[in-house]
Structure 1
């Protein structure tokens, strides 16, 4: 079986998804299709940010897993390039819609664009599927039907980076942007376990929340906190996750106007250890 991860901003009930899966299996019978649908109640998060979070996770998929990204953006134009991204040991097919800038750059080995441009609204079952079939038939050897393109030439959407605010010589704040809000309304932050371990060598870390709430410890499971209490832990992909046990944390964030456009932030206070 060839794992094909379909990432779509359609709903699971959309008939187009069935049509797309039919065409994929018609051309690539050995494909096993696994689906991620971007269906989120928050209008503050763009679908390509959600798609990028799935790609950042990778969920320990095996070598040569294919991510087939069917995410439209308001800026999508006619004759847009279709990209093939060799990402670590995986492959990503996506329109040149900016997702490249949301990936971990150090994991990008090479980027190519397909010989056909997007000319129809159903590009996923036409031009992009042709590109996928070409890669599979060549046993994952990139053919001359793909041309190299540099990272700099690709369209990129950038998420905000971590901002450091010095308070005094012994104290500072880190403003950490959010990556994603999951279906349980938990906030996943652009702050990895290795970052926490780096800072915690020299600093005591407090996660500051709205309504004067704060978190001073990292837990490993949700039930380590009482119901309706905030909790912080690192998820399977190693990213900091802020939640309320049995509640909806992101709604609290929205009420406090921490969102700016599509970006949410969490504040980490760092104090020098004695």
Structure 2
């Protein structure tokens, strides 16, 4: 029974992580839409500039007319205001609270029976399905998220998306040690002499997220989920000793907290700890992710 409970809890955490990534993916799509709008505005301005005479007749500008400048040429014509892209608020994850609800569609229907956005003034962007018969409700504001949580009926339960710790990779191990042995060697050989890192603090700050390796290859990469403090410590070491191997410490290519920007930021953090030029680091190592 305890194993089933722990598996269910782990499934909830994984689904919360997936929901968080979906939300951040939607935010990046929104940023891309805003950038496309800016590009369209610039193209329109360039087209208007190209239609101007090659040698305009000089004139004396009156006090009421604006000076001809790049800023004035980049302005949109009157009557065509730029589109306003609204920002998104917090996401609310809703799961069934009884066994009678067996699908995400039933969860959505149950929530819609209890919540009336128009009457209660709740601004909702979208609703997505997730595992375990849950749904992710993307709200527009913090106030809307609070109102939604307060209106959820007893037949449902609310969960907030969980943030993920930084991912750090110990690369190219010749062996494939079990997770417990890997963590034991990582601490005993590399960190036990550091008074800032007692064993209890290390155990709370690190866990093995997963392993990966090339198909039929002899090398293994162990990806750890660490706190920011331990990540900086490992980046400062540059490499760690595990059993008979020495593994290079690098940011993991699965650092998707902030999309490609998140990966670049992790490389900047690594470069800062290793005192490597940032531009060199990003250009050289992004291809290896």
Same fold (TM over 0.5): no
Per the normalisation by structure 2, the TM-score is: 0.30
Q: If each structure's helix is expressed as a fraction of its own residues, which one has the higher value?
A: 2
Q: If each structure's strand is expressed as a fraction of its own residues, which one has the higher value?
A: 1
Per the normalisation by structure 1, the TM-score is: 0.31
